[in-house]
Structure 1
Amino acid sequence: MTSLIPTYRDVGEGPAVVFLHGLGGNRHSFDPQLEALSSRYRCIAWDAPGYGGSARLDEFTFANLAQCFTNLLEKLRIKPFAVIGHSMGGMIAQTWVANGGVADKLVLAQTSARFGKPGSDFNKEFLGARLKPLDEGQQPADFAREVAESLLCDKSKTDVVRPAVESMSEISADHYRQVLNNLVTFDELSNLKNISIPTLCLAGDADSTAPAKGMMRMSESIPSGEFVCLPDAGHLAYLETPEAFNRALTDFFDK
């Protein structure tokens, strides 16, 4: 059990809305959402352990990440109105809920309920390909632009590419290796049916990392699941189409 309390950004007043970023992000990833929503909500965006100002975990596991999220909520003395998890953040959110986490609303954005199939050849090949640059001595900053552009619907949007590259470039090689090794262990597929929180599964129509069809299947497996697919959005919809992303959130919150 870890006692680590992550760093975070906290703006606005009202019901608490908490954002959990993905593999290449940090607390600033959701700046467009905090700017838009902080007039109505208390918006909190964390640095996951090992990101931004947060200390690293000795064991970077989804169980420990969920515990760190609980530690943060206890420090802030809040029960979230809504938890929004993007990609890896959505995996952390699912683990947190499976371990007793409670919110009024849950948003699983561009994520999955299982990463491939733990132990499968696909996962081994994925991990080998992603670790290869690190084994060759590269740092995440060396391939951050290539990775960021591969996630986008339109890689010519420099205002979108830049923050994605900047956040990923801050990650150390050791931490990135730790994150990847953990990522391929994720499997909460059998727990979707147990999610009792009203849940929005939010997809991007051009997202090849977390395809819309998979997000739709997730929503159908969650008793109070809803599905929204954003047009002209790759895997970083919160940056690519922030107005549509924010509107999907507020429409869901207002129900």
Structure 2
Amino acid sequence: MPQLEVDGAALTYDDEGPRDGDGVPLVFVHGWTADRHRWDHQVAHFAEKRRVIRLDLRGHGESSGAGVRTIAELAKDVLALLDHLEVERFVLIGHSMGGMISQTIALSHPERVERMVLVDSISRMTYSRGRGLLMGVSTLVPFKLFVAANIQRAFAPGYPREKVRECVRASAGTPREVVMTLYGAMRAFDVLDRVGEIRTPVLLIHGYHDIQLPVKQMLRMAMAYPDAVVRIIDAGHELPLEKPAELTAAVDSFVTAHA
């Protein structure tokens, strides 16, 4: 797989599909403790007709590197890759933390983002005092237990247990420093008061049973966007794994409608 050296990290990425395909390239950004293969279903579909780019974020999957402290620093990595590939304008599709990265890019470089899809993502984490205390305490338990607790609750009831266990194992392979630092970065992320500046069309697609980043928080974000379409799917937080075909169809419809 090709790699790009960026500030002490080797970023692994895929660049697929025809360069002269339909529309600008699609850029897929995965979430916390995941990797670029979260998007396998979508990439297989879209790469037949247009250029598709995805990467393993710093410290995730097959990319090396650590030391990243903020969502903005991850956004710089994504932009560095796109500059390297000479991609000036693109569509961003981000899941969870990847949606936070996407919003950061849309705010800092609005002229480059043609449109954006946020999958199970929000602009600000809000929770009760009790929930906040519970989240803080959760960081004190053994690392594998912390990861397992967070990943298991990401899926809607009824999702196959073996597939959940596979996801837990993969997530636990992410370096502890990366996992814990970015957990804090997500809790600190807050652009809700700025999303009104994002004028590009946005699709907000969310799992109804998402308890990681609840639907009501996404709807609060949707109210702040000038041009947003909302789609709710019967799934949990891991839409790319739980309902890949429905997610692909929703993204395809949105991208085609705004082409």
Q: 1:124 to 1:158 in 2, by over 3 A?
A: closer
Q: 1:122 to 1:59 in 2, by over 3 A?
A: farther
Give the equivalent residue in structure 2 for 1:148: 151
TM-score by length of 2: 0.85
Match of 1:111 among 114, 117, 121: 121
Residues 165-185 of structure 1: CA deviation (Å, up to 9, x unaligned): 243022122221211222221
Give the equivalent residue in structure 1 for 2:62: 53
Could you tell me which amino acid in structure 2 is paired with residue 19 of structure 1?
F
Residues 138-191 of structure 1: CA deviation (Å, up to 9, x unaligned): 344x55444332111134424742552243022122221211222221000111
Are the aligned partners of 1:116 and 1:123 in contact in 2 as well (CA < 8 Å)?
no
Segments of structure 2 that go 5 or more residues without pairing to the other structure are: 1-5
Are the aligned partners of 1:24 and 1:164 in contact in 2 as well (CA < 8 Å)?
no
Q: CA deviation at 1:67?
A: 1.1
The separation in 2 between residues aligned to 1:206 and 1:10, in whole angstroms, is 33
2:177 maps to 1:174: yes
The separation in 2 between residues aligned to 1:236 and 1:200, in whole angstroms, is 17
Segments of structure 1 that go 5 or more residues without pairing to the other structure are: none
Q: CA deviation at 1:72?
A: 0.9
**Aligned-residue CA RMSD (Å):** 2.3
Structure 1 counterpart SS, 2:65: coil
Please give the residue correspondences for 1:226-237 in structure 2 after superposition, counting only pairs within 5 Å. 226-231=229-234, 233-237=235-239
Q: Which moved more, 1:192-201 or 1:96-105?
A: 96-105
Give the equivalent residue in structure 1 for 2:246: 244
Aligned-residue sequence identity (percent) comes to 28
Could you tell me which amino acid in structure 2 is paired with residue 174 of structure 1?
E
The separation in 2 between residues aligned to 1:108 and 1:221, in whole angstroms, is 14
Q: Which moved more, 1:122-131 or 1:47-56?
A: 122-131
Are the aligned partners of 1:127 and 1:181 in contact in 2 as well (CA < 8 Å)?
no
Q: CA deviation at 1:220?
A: 2.4
The separation in 2 between residues aligned to 1:164 and 1:80, in whole angstroms, is 33
Match of 1:165 among 164, 168, 178: 168
Q: CA deviation at 1:100?
A: 1.7
Structure 1 counterpart SS, 2:38: coil
Q: CA deviation at 1:109?
A: 1.1
2:192 maps to 1:189: yes
Could you tell me which amino acid in structure 1 is paired with residue 113 of structure 2?
A
State how many pairs are aligned: 246
Q: 1:126 to 1:30 in 2, by over 3 A?
A: farther
Please give the residue correspondences for 1:1-255 in structure 2 after superposition, counting only pairs within 5 Å. 3=7, 6-13=11-18, 14=21, 15-101=24-110, 102-116=112-126, 121=129, 125-133=133-141, 138-140=142-144, 144-158=147-161, 160-231=163-234, 233-255=235-257
The separation in 1 between residues aligned to 2:52 and 2:220, in whole angstroms, is 29
The separation in 2 between residues aligned to 1:57 and 1:172, in whole angstroms, is 8
